[in-house]
């Protein structure tokens, strides 16, 4: 049975999954403590997600990762649907930032997000090594949003 639970303690136990979405640990440390962590369990952990309160009714998905063995089975979308419902009455907009990548933008669009804006050179300025996805170096962060 699919269950989504909030994790309050020892969030680093899910580091392996978190690193799939954000491969530099000191960048994860910037939001892990203040972020709300959720884990989708279906006979074992399948998805982890971290959401932060950015103030003024704005929330942001800082990290979401599905276990590679279970990607493409609808688990990621289930997590996003849960998050959108959970924060519905807590604010007005959910944001998510991602690389300019064909692996992630269609996922968020299929969950109802639309592109909001771009932060130029985010992955160059904030990471200590080139982030390569799908054979291409990520430079800019694309921010998508969805009304809550």
Ligand X SMILES: CC(C)(COP(=O)(O)OP(=O)(O)OC[C@H]1O[C@@H](n2cnc3c(N)ncnc32)[C@H](O)[C@@H]1OP(=O)(O)O)[C@@H](O)C(=O)NCCC(=O)NCCS
Site residues, ligand X (CB under 6 A): 20-21, 64-66, 71-77, 98, 103-104, 106-107, 110
Taking the least distance from each CB to ligand X, the nearer of 106 and 130 is 106
Shortest distance in whole angstroms from residue 104 CB to ligand X? 5
Taking the least distance from each CB to ligand X, the nearer of 89 and 135 is 135
In whole angstroms, the minimum distance from the beta carbon of 132 to ligand X comes to 12
In the 8-state DSSP scheme, what is residue 138? Answer: -
Q: How far is the CB of 65 from ligand X (least distance, A)?
A: 4
Between 44 and 72, name the residue whose CB sits nearer to ligand X.
Answer: 72
What letter would DSSP give residue 56? Answer: T
Beta strands in the chain (DSSP E): 3-7, 36-41, 45-55, 58-66, 93-99, 114-119, 132-133, 136-137, 141-147
List for the chain the helix, strand, coil content (%; round to 5). Answer: 30, 35, 30
């Amino acid at each position: 049975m699919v269950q989504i639970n909030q994790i309050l303690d020892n969030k680093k136990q899910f580091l392996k999954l978190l690193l799939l979405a954000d491969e530099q640990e000191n960048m994860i440390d910037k939001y892990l403590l203040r972020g709300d962590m959720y884990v989708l369990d279906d006979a074992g952990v399948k998805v982890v997600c971290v959401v932060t309160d950015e103030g003024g009714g704005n929330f942001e998905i800082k990290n979401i990762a599905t276990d590679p063995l279970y990607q493409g089975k609808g688990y990621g979308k289930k997590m996003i649907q849960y998050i959108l419902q959970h924060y519905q009455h807590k604010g007005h907009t959910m944001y998510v930032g991602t690389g300019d990548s064909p692996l992630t933008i269609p996922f968020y669009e299929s969950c109802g997000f639309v592109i909001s804006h771009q932060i130029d050179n985010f992955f160059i300025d904030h990471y200590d090594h080139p982030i390569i996805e799908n054979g291409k170096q990520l430079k800019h962060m694309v921010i998508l949003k969805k009304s809550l």
